[in-house]
Structure 1
């Protein structure tokens, strides 16, 4: 078996099923990455990533490592439904009357594309923290999702946005497109630097936009092997350290296994609020389309490479191996 990758895509409708009345051939649409039936308990309670109908293979309430998962996602393994993703000439979209949104005619593909995943995901991280205005937001990871969370933080009233990343070219991109403060953990003690910026308190909100695959030392890798862990929670631990007491940590980086020595003591002592998971794209997408349509946010300024679909493997390589200052690749069929 094989999986067609890609849960961030848009395209032109070529054919519609008999039950679809809100789309027609020729419509240009963006397609949110969670697959939602629109009718189940979760879909009708603003929790579409938990749809109990779309992932008919492995859905379950337990959230186990290897079997029971939530709703289906495009291009994201058999555990999440086994649906082919969008890095192809054609893609089948189930429940197509629920999620796809028609793109305003005057918007280019590049301006609209990231409404499918990374902008709603970055937006979720900030929305979960319920900013009142004036907060300091520290965002760990300046990859595509981190960059979008930075944009969302400004729009939602942050007074200061701090980007943390071990790669200088990513920090340069963050500074250039989002006008954020930048910290490189190779050059400074990030936690102490954030406290110095906030009167010793720590950031009001910390966002983990990295997940279980951070830059790691040999010791980190050996520890994970001994504990049967997938990757590391070192970035999450930094978030718990850098956030102020009674602050919020939003987790949009992916984690895939149990972790030894989880710092529950710090979370409890500091009274930290934690929110995490797949982004409920359908809760936000209509509002976010309007923000783009009204030029209140620019999304395509993070693109560093545009490649034909047949060069997808090269795109994966340069992103994975941190070559050519690659931040975000767009593939065109």
Structure 2
């Protein structure tokens, strides 16, 4: 089969590789119809996370089941399915609690497991390919109704559930105010999720006007360009100096972080990746909630733990439990409440994956989310 293989930092090549086979009775083989590129992929692409040469990246996909293992009962060959980007067995302690993002059986490293992952996250092959082996297929695969298109399904695979999870983790209630840091794909879905949960005011913070405009149009969000205005001051001014009820951080460590940014982080300067975390904490009211779905790893310097304690702020962070939200997201799309494809700004063929990575990496003011057709 053909696949996008990681060769080295900044080097993805479309080449032949072995087609996956059933390895376990709980596996399925899926012929992929469409996939995408996520900010998490960029961490490996830029060499920020160790990644094996000739490994396949990507964790968002929709496709057709081609083959199933002997113990699979919920899907069959010919079914059109979307895969959850995180991998979960469905029966361990954490899965039974609904914490699919922390499945004990999918990853022995006491962390989440996902497709296109480094060794510490299970080392699973990714989905930027013609085929993928899906472990625990009865849990990971969701059979799609005819009303949901392939384009919508790709967004169901990760960014929509993650944005919804961010809003759910913040426990947004009708009438509350919310600040969302980051207007990328997950931030867009978090803003829309806050809207349908009844938030009265949604502030969206980013440096790219095109992304701010998208959130304004689809989630009635109030845009704040942090390159022009101090977001904390703007939010305080708009909330009678109280702050918002809830804040969501959907940025994490920027995937282009390099030597200069690392030095700045070490010295606790303004460009530290902790900046958005600090803003989120500083802009939320006393007894408010900060919800973090932006991807961080290791330690973050200058973290204001004292502010959290002194102001009784609840701080929650984590990997989305995708499987938990699939039915909810599917119903939102089927009912016509949302067509999440508004975040898809670019389309590519899998053979042009290197161009897609370059666009996603360097043209953030133009590119929000890409559809990669296989």
User: What are the equivalent positions in structure 2 for 1:165-314 lying under 5 Å apart?
Assistant: 165-213=206-254, 221-225=262-266, 232-314=273-355
Q: Contact between 1:318 and 1:324, CA under 8 Å: does it hold in 2?
A: no
Structure 1 position 105 matched with structure 2 position 141: no
Q: What SS is found at the alignment partner of 1:87?
A: coil
Pairwise CA distance, 1:217: 11
Deviates more, 1:214-223 or 1:310-319: 214-223
Q: Distance in 1 between matches of 2:123 and 2:261?
A: 32
Q: Contact between 1:184 and 1:190, CA under 8 Å: does it hold in 2?
A: yes
Describe the shift of the 1:231–1:313 C-alpha distance in structure 2 as closer, same or farther (beyond 3 A).
farther
Q: Contact between 2:274 and 2:301, CA under 8 Å: does it hold in 1?
A: no
Structure 1 position 330 matched with structure 2 position 371: yes
Pairwise CA distance, 1:34: 1.2
1:12 pairs, out of 36, 54, 64, with 64
Pairwise CA distance, 1:243: 0.8
Q: Distance in 2 between matches of 1:315 and 1:126?
A: 29
Unaligned runs of 5+ in 1: 61-69
1:41 pairs, out of 82, 93, 107, with 93
Structure-2 residue corresponding to 1:21: 73
Unaligned runs of 5+ in 2: 1-52
Structure-2 residue corresponding to 1:122: 163
Q: What SS is found at the alignment partner of 1:55?
A: coil
The CA RMSD over aligned residues, in Å, is 2.0
> 1 or 2, which has the higher strand percentage?
2
TM-score normalised by structure 2 residue count = 0.81
Q: Distance in 2 between matches of 1:193 and 1:264?
A: 23
Q: Distance in 2 between matches of 1:263 and 1:169?
A: 31
Structure-2 residue corresponding to 1:63: none
Which fold has the larger relative contact order, with Cα–Cα distance below 8 Å and residues 6 or more apart in sequence?
A: 2
Once the two structures are superposed, residues 32-84 of structure 1 have per-residue CA deviations (whole angstroms, 9 ceiling, x without a partner) of 1111111111111111111111114xx23xxxxxxxxx131111211101111
Q: What SS is found at the alignment partner of 1:42?
A: helix
1:73 pairs, out of 84, 91, 114, with 114
Q: Contact between 2:266 and 2:301, CA under 8 Å: does it hold in 1?
A: no
Structure-1 residue corresponding to 2:130: 89
2:102 pairs, out of 47, 50, 63, with 50
Q: Contact between 1:213 and 1:231, CA under 8 Å: does it hold in 2?
A: no
